[in-house]
Amino acid sequence: MARPHRHVLLIDDSADDRADLRQMLLCGGHRRFRFSEAQLGAEGVHQVLEAPQGPIDCVLLDYSLPDMDAPEVLAALCQGTDLPPCPVVVITGTAGEDGLKLLGAGAQDYIGKRWTTAESLTRAVDNAIERHAMMVDRRRAEAALRSSEERYRALFNSIDAGFAVIEMVSDGQGATVDARYLQVNPAFARHTGFADVEGRTIRELLPDIDPLWLEAYDTVASTGEPVRLVHRIESMQRWLDVYAFRLGAAQARQVAVLFNDITERKQSELALIAAKAEAERANRAKSEFLLSMSHDLRSPLNAMLGFAQLLEAGTPEPTPQQLESVQQILQAGWHLLGLINEILDLTAIESGQLMLSPQAVSLSEVIEECRAMIEPQAHEAGIDLHFVPCVDQPWRVQADATRTRQVLLNLLNNAIQYNRSAGRVEVRCTEAPGQRVRVSVEDTGPGLSAGQVAQLFEPFSRLGEPCGGPPGTGIGLVISQRLVELMGGCIGVDSTVGVGSCFWFELDAAPTPLARVWPARTVLCLESDALRLQRIEEVVARWPGVCLLRAGDLRGGIEVARSARPDAILMEITSPDRSAVLAMQQFAKDPATAHIPVIALGADALPRDVEAGLAAGFFDFLTQPVLSDAFERALGLAFERTRAGGQHATAAAGPAPRPAPAA
């Protein structure tokens, strides 16, 4: 492939000299040329800078011209720089002309006119073109480098975060022992408090520096993997958020460190954590206080209500004015009692101290119990209360029976209170997605707007009712929501203004239980209250093969236990008070009864009461109704323990008479 023509500009006032130069270039090598000519220096400068004949590859410049000499032409071509736009070879006439001066002015080479040959001239042109190209490339690289350095320096100095380049320092064995600061930005001093650190090491500034910093930087330098550190430097009393990455090759052992002083943020976080802990402690103390005061709050209130009821039904009958006053006392007392109970429930839920007893609950039984309790209120308010019968499906859910009843009663109470005159309330159970059962309470009240629905489950919202509306505490729905969620369900409402509302809750369905028979088992119940005893009798009667024995006090219970040696003992108590502990001690001291498990039943016990009861020696402490899976499970475990642990006692004391089932 033929080489391209080289465009050479000949600047010489002698036509013969220009012809000689052309001839020597054409004869001096195998490259092809094309020529432009100029007789004056100004004309040649114009052709180079304006390029009317195209770009010039090389200029052959006569030293002496009528209008200017070679240094003046070079100055015009360089335009204030030290390099003309194309290579220039000066043709000198005498040996006295200063060649170094020409090179300093921008010429690539110079050659004597009298001793120039075709070969030397061609070689001078080729070399000049190559050197000029190399110089142009170098100047471009230097300019790019300067520009890059300027951008880097501007960025380096403008970063608000602290920035440093460090070099790892090793001992004679190659182990990293320190790091030297090579470069830091202005923000470094602001974030650290140290100035003039370049050339100094980290240990010079911080002799007690935590080794983890140097270890982390050493790992970055060795592996090239960046690292993020958030740590406190004790000697500086500052928290630093550091991002470190390697610079260059591993052999350089240089690490770039970008960091921020986050001391204020950390102090705020720690203060917030401390404040949160203090608030939680205060909240727990408040909850503990309210829970521990539950009996103290309700006992005098119950006494007030009881004596007010005695006054209402007393002899002689109260006057109409007295009767009105007594009824006001009763109304306010019942309202206050409901408020106390609901606030205590909410407190127990929020403090995590509410004990639930998940079990298979029959919704039919819960609904029937609620019907019996709510029908008088509905009748008094003129509300038609309708329960859709559950004939086709014996609905059972996995829940706490007492709390399920509490939720349903609250929804029924709201449906009656917030209904229209001569309205209707309908209750039904339906199957819900995800193997759940939905209980719906639909009313014909005024309905709720979107804004009221959004605030519905907020404490003390009272369904958006103003003061003077239906009486209530305003936290019943909140408690219902929390209870349903604690039982693994969900609660909601569908409402239309002017039509009514349908409140519903869903719970996980429970399988239908199989009947269980415990052959020839005897249970002793220590209970002085006739109504509670009747409830336990009704529950135990559901299990064939179990005989229930009764005792009204501790003395009678010990005698029955010694003579009958039952498989389990039930003791219904309010809390593990002194009498309960005494009973356990009496049973434990007697060899004939020491092996018999004693189950405490307390419907209103705090977690600490349960712990104290178990510590006192009770086999179990149940806080749920006796009609529950938990009660059945506890009784079954008690029977198994009696069988396993009572054989020795039976052999020593002889066979005990098995009493006939109580009528």
Burial tier of 60 (Cβ tally within 10 Å: 0-12, 13-18, 19+) = buried
Ranges of the chain whose pLDDT falls below 70: 1-3, 94-97, 286-299, 335, 338-339, 342, 351, 353, 390-393, 459-474, 512-518, 531, 574-578, 603-607, 623-629, 645-663
**CA–CA distance from 662 to each of 104, 123, 455, 551, 568 (Å)?**
130, 133, 55, 12, 16
Cα separation, 8 vs 440, in Å, equals 102
Alpha-carbon Rg for the chain in angstroms = 51
Ramachandran angles phi, psi of 11, nearest 5° = -110, 105
Q: Are 469 and 462 in contact (CB under 8 A)?
A: yes
Say if strands 436-443 and 424-432 run parallel, antiparallel, or are unpaired.
antiparallel
Residue 118 main-chain phi, psi, to 5 deg: -60, -40
Strand partners, 162: 259
Plot region of 637 (φ>0 → left; ψ -120 to 50 → alpha; else → beta): alpha
CA dihedral 274, 276, 278, 284 (to 10 degrees): -150
pLDDT the model gives residue 94: 66
**C-alpha closest to that of 557 among 542, 572, 535:** 572
Chain Cα centroid distance, residue 551: 56
Joined together, the tokens standing for residue 380 give 């008094």
H/E segment holding residue 254: strand 254-261
- Asked if residue 75 lies in contact with residue 102, where contact means CB atoms within 8 angstroms, the answer is no
Consecutive H or E run containing 460: none
Torsion (CA) 428, 430, 432, 438 in degrees, nearest 10: 30
**Strands, E assignment, 262-400:** 359-362, 384-387, 396-399
- CA nearest 308: which of 296, 293, 324? 324
Half-sphere exposure of 613 (CA within 13 A, CB side): 26
| SS3 per residue for 558-584 | HHHHHHHCCCEEEEECCCCCHHHHHHH
pTM of the complete model beyond 0.75: no
Q: What is the pLDDT of residue 416?
A: 93
pLDDT at 581: 74
| Res 655: pLDDT | 39
Length of the chain in terms of residues written: 663
In angstroms, what CA-CA distances link 151 with 138, 146, 184, 391? 20, 9, 16, 84
How many Cβ atoms from other residues are within 10 Å of residue 526's Cβ? 24
CA 661 to chain centre: 60
- Residue 359's Cα: distance from chain center in Å? 33
Backbone angles phi, psi at 382, to 5 degrees: 75, 30
| Long-range CB contacts for residues 606-612, cutoff 8 Å, separation at least 24 | 606/291, 606/292, 606/353, 606/575, 607/353, 607/355, 609/575, 609/576, 610/355, 612/575, 612/576
User: Which residue(s) pair with 441 in the sheet?
Assistant: 427, 503
Residue 400's nearest CA partner among 440, 349, 330 is 349
CB 549 within 8 A of CB 659: yes
Closest CA to 302 of 259, 341, 261: 341
Among 366, 363, 385, 362, smallest CA distance to 375 is for 385
Rounded Cα–Cα distance for residues 201 and 217 (Å): 13
Domains of the chain in start order, with CATH, are 6-139 (3.40.50.2300), 159-261 (3.30.450.20), 267-350 (1.10.287.130), 359-508 (3.30.565.10), 521-653 (3.40.50.2300)
Torsion angle, alpha carbons of 358, 458, 296, 304, to 10: -110
74 CB-near residues (< 8 Å, 6+ apart): 61, 84, 88, 102, 105, 106, 107
Q: Which two tokens stand for residue 17?
A: 């000299």
Q: Give the residue among 522, 502, 505, 493 at the shortest CA–CA distance from 596.
A: 522
d(CA 414, CA 473): 11
Q: What is the pLDDT of residue 296?
A: 67
Task: Output the CA angle 380-386-389, nearest 5 degrees.
Answer: 145
Distances (CA, A) of 202 to 23, 223, 262: 72, 21, 20
pLDDT at 651: 39
